[in-house]
Amino acid sequence: MGKFLVDKKSVHRQTVGFTIVELLIVIVVIGILAAIAIVAYNGVQNRARASAASSAATQAVKKLESFAVDGNGYPATLAAVGVLDSGTMTYQYTVDNSAIPATYCVTVTNGTTSYMASSTNTRPTAGGCAGHGQGGVAAVTNMAVNPSMASTANINSAGAAGSNAVVATGGFSGSSFVRRTFSAAGGAGLYFNPVTTITPGTTYTASVYTRSSVAASIRMNIEWKTSSSIISSSGGTSVTVGPGGWTRISASGTAPATADRVTLTAYASGSPWVAGDYQDIDAGMFTEGGNLTNYADGDSPNWVWNGTANNATSTGPPL
């Protein structure tokens, strides 16, 4: 038999492993599977929240309707029928027992999911009642009365002499706005007074839309007051406005310890106006907090007037 001689140096050991391309493919596949799993999990969570909110609204309706069986209308609060916030579940409730028939609307929010039911539609539907926050976002109250300037109520002026009047068409909000026509040269401007009690130490934000017949540098100014005098003021950034489109000006500030009311001024520095010039204002807003939200009033979608239309505060979700 012949012998075969093997040269050990000619033997190459081969190692088994992944190439870089194969590793990248595996990573991509894992990422896709993880994304699918997260989407599926979120879908299950969202459906669970929706189901819980809808069920809670159904139970609230049953308790409200049971309460009304005795003919005394609906309760003033949900607490009166044992419906209370719990965990991530919160309730908002509006009732009007003076209406014929009496009415109510309840919004149940679970996390970021809201369902509503009312005396006219007791079957829960996704969304919130008018005037309620929804989707986990709290409602906002515009504390300015006559915010869309439907009249000259609570609107005054300082500085250059002139007269105020409502213009029926062309407003930023709705149709009307207030115009001050100057009869003498000067500055200052228009101001409006929210008829509401402010809380010392609380931050507020004010805004109004304005324009002018001539270029004028105008700023929003919050004057913190007592019944007898101005304590201090919080001014916004001056903006040059003219006769074109409406320009929004705003300011934020914290109410001093002794302040119990405010005056909001669309104030022009210097003396930009002469006799015959005018300044317009519309869409006034005064809210708690330091955030400037989009203008809204009781005529806006899902908002309500907290009293007589165009002569009361108004509440609804941020728009």
Are residue 182 and residue 281 in the same domain, yes or no?
yes
Q: Is the dihedral of CA 238, 240, 241, 246 positive or negative?
A: negative
The reported pLDDT for the residue numbered 23 is 78
Residue type (1 letter), 77: T
pLDDT at 162 over 70: yes
Tokens for 140, please give them: 């906002």
Please check whether residue 307 lies inside any domain of the structure: no
Tell me the average pLDDT across 264-293. 92
Are residue 127 and residue 160 in the same domain, yes or no?
no
Domain count, the chain: 2
pLDDT at 81 over 80: yes
Please check whether residue 317 lies inside any domain of the structure: no
Are residue 89 and residue 170 in the same domain, yes or no?
no
pLDDT at 202 over 50: yes
Is the separation of the CB atoms in 154 and 193 below 8 Å?
yes
Are residue 280 and residue 253 in the same domain, yes or no?
yes
The reported pLDDT for the residue numbered 59 is 96
Q: What percent of the chain has pLDDT over 90?
A: 62
pLDDT at 291 over 70: yes
Tell me the average pLDDT across 224-246. 90
pTM score > 0.85 for this model?
no
**What is the residue range of 73's domain?**
50-138
Tell me the average pLDDT across 184-213. 87
The predicted-structure confidence for 263-276, as pLDDT tens digits, reads as follows 899 988 888 999 99
The reported pLDDT for the residue numbered 159 is 83
214-205-297 Cα angle (round to 5)? 80
Q: What's the Rg (C-alpha) of the chain? A: 31
Tokens for 273, please give them: 């106006």
Please give the C-alpha separations between residue 65 and each of 59, 60, 231, in angstroms, as whole numbers. Answer: 10, 9, 51
pLDDT band, very low/low/confident/very high, at 103 (cuts 50, 70, 90): very high
The chain-wide mean pLDDT, for the chain, equals: 88
Are residue 125 and residue 90 in the same domain, yes or no?
yes
User: Helix or strand or coil: residue 139?
Assistant: coil
The reported pLDDT for the residue numbered 30 is 84
The reported pLDDT for the residue numbered 6 is 47
Are residue 119 and residue 180 in the same domain, yes or no?
no
The secondary structure element, H or E, covering residue 63 is helix 20-68
DSSP 206-264: EEEEEEESS-EEEEEEEEEE-SS-EEEEEE---EEE-SSS-EEEEEEEE--TT--EEEE
What's the CA gap between 213 and 307, in Å, rounded? 34
Q: Between 147 and 22, where is the model more confident?
A: 147
Residue 305: φ, ψ to 5°: -80, 135
Please check whether residue 2 lies inside any domain of the structure: no
Please check whether residue 22 lies inside any domain of the structure: no
Tokens for 264, please give them: 């909001």
The predicted-structure confidence for 297-318, as pLDDT tens digits, reads as follows 999 999 999 999 998 999 999 9
Tell me the average pLDDT across 282-286. 95
pLDDT at 44 over 80: no
Residue 51: φ, ψ to 5°: -65, -40
Q: What percent of the chain has pLDDT over 70?
A: 92
For residue 108, give the nearest of 135, 148, 76, 81 by alpha carbon. Answer: 135
Residue where one domain finishes, among candidates 105, 138, 171: 138
Is the separation of the CB atoms in 281 and 190 below 8 Å?
yes
Are residue 173 and residue 240 in the same domain, yes or no?
yes
CATH number of 226's domain: 2.60.120.260
Please check whether residue 249 lies inside any domain of the structure: yes
Are residue 185 and residue 110 in the same domain, yes or no?
no
Listed range (9-23, 69-83, 97-111) with the worst mean pLDDT: 9-23
CB neighbourhood size of 127 (10 A) = 14
Are residue 271 and residue 175 in the same domain, yes or no?
yes
For residue 256, give the nearest of 303, 307, 204, 295 by alpha carbon. Answer: 204
Please check whether residue 95 lies inside any domain of the structure: yes
Are residue 66 and residue 170 in the same domain, yes or no?
no
Please check whether residue 316 lies inside any domain of the structure: no
Please check whether residue 69 lies inside any domain of the structure: yes
Are residue 134 and residue 163 in the same domain, yes or no?
no
Long-range contacts of 76-80 (CB under 8 A, 24+ apart): 78/106
Are residue 121 and residue 164 in the same domain, yes or no?
no
Quote helix, strand, coil % in the chain, to nearest 5: 20, 40, 45
The predicted-structure confidence for 87-100, as pLDDT tens digits, reads as follows 899 999 999 999 99
